[in-house]
A and B are shown apart, each in its own frame.
Chain A
Amino acid sequence: MARQPSPARVLTTTVAAWIVGFLIFFPILWMVLTSFKTELEAFSTPPSFLFFHWTTENYAAVQGRSDYVHHAINSIVIAGGSTLIAMLIAIPAAWSMAFAPSPRTRDILLWMLSTKMMPPVGVLVPIYLIYRNFGLLDSRVGLVAVLCLGNLPIVVWMLFTYFKEIPKDILEAARMDGATIGKELVYVLTPMAVPGIASTLLLNFILAWNEAFWTLNLSTSQAAPLTVFIASYSSPEGLFWAKLSAASTLAIAPILVLGWFSQRQLVRGLTFGAVK
């Protein structure tokens, strides 16, 4: 029997929670508001919160000045490509570890996890030199490869935790009915595995989209995704707050929406199943 909290208490906690939520969200809100101001208003003190001259000129200017679309396409290709390839490598591996575990499965999983803990800066020098020698610097292929390998351990782990939850009895039943491994895969496992695969795909796309170590170090212009494009606003001559805000809003809006859908998976993916 759950006790009903008193109305006064609900009111207090509600108000407190909304204030906290608003404060945490505020920098993003402020950025979005600034993106609709003129450069002059964006910089003015005291700041105007809502009663300014709303304009969308910054959004047009961002595209005109720096070819936003080019970098957005790079982001999509790099985040999407690296995620898809990682899935192709990881699905068979996670499937076999979840359904045909060997005595070594646990060690392999933990070893994979440990590769994720290697700081990228530890291998920056060799990767940079290899890329330079093979002409992979500032190339989409190069970034797809490095992000794919960097996220592979998380992909395998997430898929593994999902696949493990598929009841084994169903497989036994299918086998009793004489299903071959191929049929088992197509008719029994796939439908049950789709939600887990979709969540994994989503979270890793987000992680790859926001990755800002390899992208900053290995790309400059041609292959530069949005992380690098935004970083170009850090130069002193790029001190255009309204345009910075407009570019930033465009860069994070799609991922914020995807991210909100993947809250639950976030916990699971980033704690390697240690918290569910």
Chain B
Amino acid sequence: MATEQTRGLGRILIAPAVIALFVWMIVPLVMTIYFSTLDYNLLNPGSESFVGLENYFYFLTDPAFLASLQNTLVLVGSVLAITVVVGTLVALLLDQAVIGRSIVRLMVIAPFFVMPTVSALVWKNLLMHPVSGLFAWIATSLGLRPIDWFAEAPLLAIILIVAWQWLPFATLILLTALQSLDEEQKEAAEMDGARAFSTFFHITLQHLARPITVVILIETIFLQTVFAEIYVTTGGGPGLQTTNIAFLIYSQALIQFDVGTASAGGLVAVVLANIVAFFLVRIVGRNLEA
């Protein structure tokens, strides 16, 4: 039973965290909203003026916005598809009888702990370099023409790098979920004469539905803000081919110093993220009651 005393103490204990997060969230957000209504460029200080919704109009009608929105959707969608499908397969494989499974698991998880700038540069240079990269050598050995990844298929190159980084996350969560699936449940189904295939579809996949949803939602939140991988490899180019929304806002803010437009873009990004967050918070909240 929580007494009056503990409840009062509880409030005091929780206060620093709530206040810190409140300040962290509200102050910059209010500033972003305020800046987004100004014509404000850092290269031209002292000339700020109120322009209403003009920045939003400018940001949303800018061809760069549509291009970057499309790139964001392709990037998020492709990485999700790759990590969920491959992650499920790898998790199912690791859930089998495997000698030395813990070592294999370590190898599979490793990419997740590599900092984004390292994975991006290692992939860009050591693996994807059109002349001296390992992929080029493999292609040449097989009698194929090596691909100049960052010139011919820059977005695909970014997708592969990011998918490699997030594959361990999907695999690990799905493997954890699989291992909690009751062996007896599967066996009971087999005893009932269910074939392996139908066991898989009816029991395993059904059991994985929720963890897959969680993987999709969490990855979507993080993948919307992929930044370092683009920053160190392509710088958003060639042209706008690898500019996602996060990178577009960054370049407006810290390369063109256009505070007004970047702020309007920032709010657009917040709204987009919130659409996904809404669903994730509901799923987690439902889980909290159980």
Partner of A108, one of B18, B31, B111, B227: B18
If A27-B126, A124-B254, A210-B116 are given as contacts, then 5 extra A-B residue pairs at C-beta distance below 8 Å, sorted by A number, are A9-B97, A119-B225, A119-B266, A125-B253, A266-B112
Q: Interface extent on B, as a size class?
A: 35 or more
B residues within 8 A CB of A245?
122, 126
Are A115 and B110 neighbours in the complex by a CB distance under 8 Å?
A: no
A residues within 8 A CB of B173?
267, 270-271, 275
Bound complex: CA A241 to CA B239 (Å)? 26
Are A95 and B13 neighbours in the complex by a CB distance under 8 Å?
A: yes
B residues within 8 A CB of A209?
115
Q: Interface extent on A, as a size class?
A: 35 or more
Shortest Cβ distance from B255 into chain A, in angstroms? Answer: 11
Are B270 and A274 neighbours in the complex by a CB distance under 8 Å?
A: no
B194 within 8 A of A: no
Render B247-269 as a binary contact track against A, CB cut-off 8 A, 1 for contact: 00110011000010011001101
Are B28 and A123 neighbours in the complex by a CB distance under 8 Å?
A: yes
Are B32 and A123 neighbours in the complex by a CB distance under 8 Å?
A: yes
Bound complex: CA A158 to CA B57 (Å)? 41
Residues of A bordering B, CB below 8 Å: 1-3, 5, 9-10, 13-14, 16-18, 20-22, 24-25, 27-28, 30-31, 34, 42-47, 89-90, 92-93, 95-97, 99-102, 106, 108-110, 112-115, 117-130, 149-150, 152-153, 156, 181, 206, 209-210, 212-213, 216-217, 226-228, 230-231, 233-234, 239, 241, 244-245, 248, 251-252, 255-256, 258-260, 263-264, 266-267, 270-276
B100 within 8 A of A: yes
Partner of B253, one of A89, A108, A128: A128
Q: A18-B100, A122-B29, A256-B113 are in contact. Are A117 and B274 (CB under 8 A)?
A: yes
Are B266 and A123 neighbours in the complex by a CB distance under 8 Å?
A: yes
Are B267 and A122 neighbours in the complex by a CB distance under 8 Å?
A: yes
Render B118-145 as a binary contact track against A, CB cut-off 8 A, 1 for contact: 1101111111000110101100110000
Shortest Cβ distance from B214 into chain A, in angstroms? Answer: 5
Shortest Cβ distance from A121 into chain B, in angstroms? Answer: 4
Are B270 and A27 neighbours in the complex by a CB distance under 8 Å?
A: no
